[in-house]
């Protein structure tokens, strides 16, 4: 039979039941303790000691703990490791508990908050340059509603997508935490199941209306039922984790799916837009692009790049603003200096509204809003504002009353902790100043008292000291104790330690009380001011959030202008017909990497137009095919984001969907049969790409046998050409595909150039017209350091294979009457073989025996190279 748990354990177990699958941080004095499995998990993740405390059901209870004062950093590590944490605080003091329930009463505890990846507000737990999205999903028939909020700034967006587009949408949003209704089919991995009842459109509408104190949401746009159902799940969760305190919520915005350039998860991953393939930001387009000087700017840029716009007016408006900053390096430089010192006011506001604000957060608002007004003053006088800037400027100001108040009320650098006061500036409140004077006077009086007692007692070593237990006391070395014990001075004994005796006196007691009382009242006064300031800031939350958003947009535009100036980028021209005309295009990430190594990137042109819309690109491995494909896709993404592009000029017809696929051989790390993945992804393109889409296919078909691969690549290229009619760049090492040019009128052949120079392969990285002449595979292998005997053997095998191919008409012999390409290949092969050249050039009859012997040596040397 199980023992009855101790009262404490019973309390713990009840709280733990409430916490569900969250780890429970149970406050005990200066520590948060974890028990049972929670302790095991935490001890492992945090690498702290696992101990035991008491017994439960006859077995020791595993336990570990973290100090309260450093709990944040431990929380951060637990959350990053995928955990959620419930925080159970003591909600009364031990004295209150005793008053309530006698000397053995247990202090009442309650869960005051849940900390989860998607609901963080703490500066130390958030990444400054990344948004932190909490997302709820609500499937309805073949649609899915999505409601997302970045709690740290209060930005809330609702949208809807087709069920089939959910993976792509999730890839775009990259949420930190996903909520679904219990029992949802195909719920995303790691999502959190919540009660179904909250995921209804009625609940969503009701909770949003209540939170914003409005009767209808109509004023903010039109929200569909799936969107509102998702919002219901989201709002109910926010209420649950905040235990009734809602975070900062800005009015919801409906995001139209048609407004963004569609990219699926595979495309995003292969283009490395915001994350490199290995994970992490380094090596991504975002990392190369980001010159933002504020965290909020960097977060907005990441959003922009994840969801490039699909429509012209929005893109042009952003481009106009970037252009404006690009054209004026002086104003850009001044602006960026000002932005650099700007605190993250959006997130400070988020903490304030969530009830976790500190004096430091108020100070950040003060400094940020002042800086914002200064920036408005910097930008306003210019006569030629682009439309977007004209819209943003008014949002930068209008906070004078609040900033004046904060400037008067707060000290220059207010602390994060408000418990010990000291953040209200002198002069703000006369009564508070008086209280402070009183404590100051009393402190001085105590110092004077010490001097007086020394003189009166004749004990030079007498001191007046202070500690947490006794408060103020008089201390003398033990050997002088007797003097005070029996003297007339009015000293009362308090404590004897090993070396000293401690006393009190009436005068000291009076002065100490003065300090304590004035101190307590001063603290209370500061607290009252704090609450009022928080209230004032909260009242202005929407205007402050708008200022933060405007500053972020300005930072993004100025940062993009800076990047463009640095790299010699050009403003893209948008066109209505489906074209992609890029002159002197570069791959910004590869270009940067080469520049670091002191090498130069070779710029290339791309000219896709409706009647030449599919380029087949051949050429040796390492010749630059993938780079060329991707650079054009990246340039398209950048243009749609509203950025300048790494090219000398670019004219781009608006793209509705962008697809990028890489043949399976490069993706071995993935679990499923890689060829299967490749084909699933290819099928998705064939099903979704339109005449307005842009597709890059890199070595598709490579993941299977030569014949299968060639056949599939052939059929895919034909289908894209004839059926999807998308703009497409198709890199392949199958020379045989070149024959597609005979039957597909809008397909043309191109190759990356290479040359053999004295037996060495030189990759020129230039994209040129026409089919590739040969593959240079062995030359590449040699470049890569494959040993000479192996290369020699490979050459022998190749010669045999090619002889066979020539005789039978080659791999694609069955495809038509003309084995044109194979013949060309053989000729090329012959040209390059130095050994054969030397042999065929010999006049054997004229050789002397001596010459013949020398020649044999030479031939053997050549063969060995």
Contact indicator for 33, 87 with CB cutoff of 8 Å:
no
Shortest Å distance, C-beta 113 to ligand ADP: 49
Shortest Å distance, C-beta 277 to ligand ADP: 13
Shortest Å distance, C-beta 627 to ligand ADP: 3
Q: Which helix (H) or strand (E) holds 11?
A: helix 7-19
Contact indicator for 657, 262 with CB cutoff of 8 Å:
yes
Which residue number, 172 or 765, has a Cβ lying nearer to ligand ADP?
765
Q: Which of 158, 138, 147, 160 is nearest to 118 (CA)?
A: 147
Q: Which of 322, 299, 318 is nearest to 310 (CA)?
A: 318
Which residue number, 402 or 695, has a Cβ lying nearer to ligand ADP?
695
Which residue number, 441 or 605, has a Cβ lying nearer to ligand ADP?
605
CB burial of 537-574 (b: ≥16 within 10 Å; e: otherwise) equals beebbeebbbbbbbbbbbbbbbbbbbbbbebebbbbeb
Shortest Å distance, C-beta 20 to ligand ADP: 49
Q: Residue 788 class from Cβ within 10 Å (0-12 exposed, 13-18 middle, 19+ buried)?
A: exposed
Which residue number, 332 or 625, has a Cβ lying nearer to ligand ADP?
625
Alpha-carbon span 6 to 32, nearest angstrom: 19
Residue with tokens 């290995």: 278
Which residue number, 115 or 713, has a Cβ lying nearer to ligand ADP?
713
- Number of C-beta neighbours around residue 245 at 10 A: 14
Helix axes 541-567, 506-539, angle to 10 degrees: 70
Which residue number, 204 or 701, has a Cβ lying nearer to ligand ADP?
701
Which residue number, 322 or 602, has a Cβ lying nearer to ligand ADP?
602
Residues 687-706 interacting with ligand ADP (rule: CB under 6 A): none
Which residue number, 297 or 620, has a Cβ lying nearer to ligand ADP?
620
Which residue number, 539 or 595, has a Cβ lying nearer to ligand ADP?
595
Alpha-carbon span 559 to 548, nearest angstrom: 16
Residues 589-648 interacting with ligand ADP (rule: CB under 6 A): 590, 594, 601-602, 604, 621-627
Shortest Å distance, C-beta 631 to ligand ADP: 8
The 3 state secondary structure assigned to 530-549 is: HHHHHHHHHHCHHHHHHHHH
Shortest Å distance, C-beta 344 to ligand ADP: 37
Which residue number, 502 or 753, has a Cβ lying nearer to ligand ADP?
753
Instruction: Find the DSSP H helices in 642-730.
Output: 674-688, 706-719
Shortest Å distance, C-beta 762 to ligand ADP: 12
Shortest Å distance, C-beta 44 to ligand ADP: 40
Q: Is residue 721 within the footprint of ligand ADP (CB under 6 A)?
A: no
Phi-psi label, residue 82: left if phi above 0, alpha if psi -120 to 50, beta otherwise: left
Helix axes 345-353, 506-539, angle to 10 degrees: 110
E-assigned strand segments in 36-84: 51-56, 59-67
Shortest Å distance, C-beta 626 to ligand ADP: 3
The three-state secondary structure class of 112 is strand
Shortest Å distance, C-beta 43 to ligand ADP: 45
Q: Which of 633, 634, 695, 622 is nearest to 659 (CA)?
A: 695
* N-terminal to C-terminal alpha carbon distance within the chain: 84
Shortest Å distance, C-beta 788 to ligand ADP: 23
Q: Could you give the C-alpha distances from 717 to 329, 604, 723, in angstroms and in order?
A: 46, 23, 10
Which residue number, 522 or 602, has a Cβ lying nearer to ligand ADP?
602
Q: Which helix (H) or strand (E) holds 456?
A: helix 430-457
The three-state secondary structure class of 178 is strand
Shortest Å distance, C-beta 606 to ligand ADP: 12
Which residue number, 570 or 629, has a Cβ lying nearer to ligand ADP?
629
Contact indicator for 152, 121 with CB cutoff of 8 Å:
yes
Q: Which of 756, 786, 740, 801 is nearest to 623 (CA)?
A: 756
Residue with tokens 């975070």: 247
The three-state secondary structure class of 761 is strand
- Number of C-beta neighbours around residue 809 at 10 A: 16
Shortest Å distance, C-beta 702 to ligand ADP: 11
Residue nearest to ligand ADP (CB): 624
Which residue number, 296 or 602, has a Cβ lying nearer to ligand ADP?
602
Shortest Å distance, C-beta 601 to ligand ADP: 4
Shortest Å distance, C-beta 699 to ligand ADP: 8
Contact indicator for 151, 247 with CB cutoff of 8 Å:
yes
Residues 735-774 interacting with ligand ADP (rule: CB under 6 A): 752, 765
Which residue number, 175 or 618, has a Cβ lying nearer to ligand ADP?
618
Which residue number, 621 or 682, has a Cβ lying nearer to ligand ADP?
621
Which residue number, 247 or 624, has a Cβ lying nearer to ligand ADP?
624
Q: Residue 422 class from Cβ within 10 Å (0-12 exposed, 13-18 middle, 19+ buried)?
A: middle
Which residue number, 268 or 625, has a Cβ lying nearer to ligand ADP?
625
Shortest Å distance, C-beta 399 to ligand ADP: 50
Shortest Å distance, C-beta 587 to ligand ADP: 7
In this structure, the dihedral spanned by the alpha carbons of residues 669, 673, 679 and 680, taken in order and rounded to 10 degrees, is -90
Alpha-carbon span 116 to 119, nearest angstrom: 5
Alpha-carbon span 236 to 245, nearest angstrom: 11
Which residue number, 355 or 777, has a Cβ lying nearer to ligand ADP?
777
Q: Which of 531, 569, 26 is nearest to 325 (CA)?
A: 569
Query: Total binding residues for ligand ADP by CB under 6 A?
Result: 14
Alpha-carbon span 264 to 98, nearest angstrom: 61
Shortest Å distance, C-beta 341 to ligand ADP: 39
Residues that bind ligand ADP (CB under 6 A): 590, 594, 601-602, 604, 621-627, 752, 765
């Amino acid at each position: 039979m199980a023992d009855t748990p101790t009262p404490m354990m019973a309390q713990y177990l009840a709280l733990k039941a409430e916490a569900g699958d969250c780890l429970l941080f149970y406050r005990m004095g200066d520590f948060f303790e974890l028990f049972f499995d929670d302790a095991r998990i935490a001890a492992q993740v945090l690498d702290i000691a696992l101990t035991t405390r008491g017994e439960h059901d006859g077995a020791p209870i595993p336990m570990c703990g973290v100090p309260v004062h450093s709990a944040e950093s431990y929380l951060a590590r637990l959350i990053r490791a995928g955990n959620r944490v419930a925080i159970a605080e003591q909600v009364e003091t031990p004295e209150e508990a005793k008053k309530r329930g006698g000397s053995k009463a247990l202090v009442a505890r309650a869960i005051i908050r849940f900390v989860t990846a998607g609901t963080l507000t703490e500066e130390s737990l958030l990444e400054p340059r990344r948004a932190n999205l909490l997302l709820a999903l609500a499937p309805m028939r073949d649609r899915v509603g999505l409601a997302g909020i970045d709690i740290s700034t209060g930005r809330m967006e609702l949208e809807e997508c087709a069920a089939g587009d959910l993976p792509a949408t999730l890839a775009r949003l990259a949420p930190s935490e996903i909520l679904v209704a219990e029992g949802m089919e195909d719920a995303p991995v790691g999502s959190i199941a919540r009660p179904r009842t909250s995921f209804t459109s009625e609940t969503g509408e009701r909770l949003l209306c209540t939170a914003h104190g409005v009767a209808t949401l109509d004023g903010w746009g039109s929200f569909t039922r799936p969107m509102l159902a998702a919002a219901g799940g989201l709002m109910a969760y926010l209420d649950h984790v905040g235990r009734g305190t809602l975070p900062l919520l800005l009015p919801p915005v409906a995001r139209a799916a048609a407004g963004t350039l569609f990219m699926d998860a595979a495309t995003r991953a292969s283009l490395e837009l915001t994350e490199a393939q290995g994970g992490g930001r380094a090596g991504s387009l975002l990392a190369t692009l980001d010159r933002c000087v504020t965290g909020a700017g960097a977060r907005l840029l990441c959003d922009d790049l994840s969801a490039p716009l699909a429509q012209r007016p929005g893109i042009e408006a952003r481009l106009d603003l970037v252009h404006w900053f690009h054209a004026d390096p002086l104003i850009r430089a001044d602006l960026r200096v000002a932005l650099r010192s700007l605190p993250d006011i959006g997130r400070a506001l988020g903490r304030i509204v969530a009830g976790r604000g500190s004096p430091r957060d108020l100070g950040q608002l003060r400094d940020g809003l002042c800086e914002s007004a200064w920036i408005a003053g910097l930008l306003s006088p210019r006569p030629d504002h682009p439309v977007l800037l004209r819209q943003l400027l008014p949002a930068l100001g209008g906070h004078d009353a609040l900033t004046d108040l904060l400037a008067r009320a707060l000290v220059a650098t207010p602390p994060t902790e408000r418990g010990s006061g000291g953040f209200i500036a002198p002069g703000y409140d006369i009564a508070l100043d008086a209280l402070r004077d009183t404590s100051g006077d009393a402190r001085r009086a105590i110092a004077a008292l010490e001097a007086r007692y020394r003189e009166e007692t004749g004990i030079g070593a007498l001191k007046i000291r202070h500690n947490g237990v006794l408060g103020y006391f008089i201390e003398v070395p033990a050997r002088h104790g007797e003097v005070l014990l029996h003297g007339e001075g009015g000293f009362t004994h308090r404590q004897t330690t090993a070396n000293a005796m401690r006393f009190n006196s009436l005068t000291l007691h009076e002065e100490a009380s003065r300090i304590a009382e004035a101190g307590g009242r001063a603290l209370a006064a500061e607290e009252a001011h704090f609450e009022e300031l928080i209230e004032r800031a909260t009242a202005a939350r929407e205007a402050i959030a708008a200022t933060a958003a405007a500053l972020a947009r300005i930072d993004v535009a100025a940062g993009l202008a800076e990047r463009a100036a640095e790299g010699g980028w050009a403003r893209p021209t948008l066109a209505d017909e489906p074209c992609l005309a890029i002159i002197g295009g570069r791959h910004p990430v590869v270009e940067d990497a080469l520049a670091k190594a002191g090498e130069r990137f070779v710029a290339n042109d791309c000219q896709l137009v409706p009647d030449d819309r599919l380029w087949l690109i051949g050429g040796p491995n390492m010749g630059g095919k993938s780079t060329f494909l991707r650079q054009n896709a990246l340039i398209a993404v950048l243009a749609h984001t509203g950025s300048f592009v790494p090219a000398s000029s670019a004219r781009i017809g608006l793209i509705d969907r962008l697809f990028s696929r890489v043949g399976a051989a490069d993706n071995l790390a993935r679990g499923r049969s890689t060829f299967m993945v490749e084909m699933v992804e290819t099928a998705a393109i064939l099903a979704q790409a339109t005449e307005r889409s842009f597709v890059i296919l890199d070595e598709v078909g490579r993941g299977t046998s030569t014949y299968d691969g060639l056949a599939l690549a052939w059929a895919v290229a034909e289908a894209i050409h004839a059926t999807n009619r998308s703009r497409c760049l198709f890199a392949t090492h199958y020379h045989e595909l070149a024959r597609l040019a005979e039957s597909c009128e809008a397909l043309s052949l191109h190759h990356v150039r290479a040359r053999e120079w004295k037996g060495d392969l030189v990759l020129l990285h230039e994209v040129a017209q026409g089919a590739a002449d040969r593959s240079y595979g062995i030359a590449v292998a040699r470049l890569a350091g494959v040993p000479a005997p192996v290369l020699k053997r490979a050459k022998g095998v190749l010669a045999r294979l090619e002889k066979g191919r020539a005789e039978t008409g080659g791999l694609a012999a069955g495809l038509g009457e003309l084995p044109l390409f194979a013949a060309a290949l053989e000729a090329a092969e012959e040209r390059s073989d130095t050994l054969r050249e030397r042999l065929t050039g010999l006049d054997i009859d004229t050789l002397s025996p001596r010459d013949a012997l020398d020649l044999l040596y030479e031939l053997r040397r050549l063969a060995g190279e």
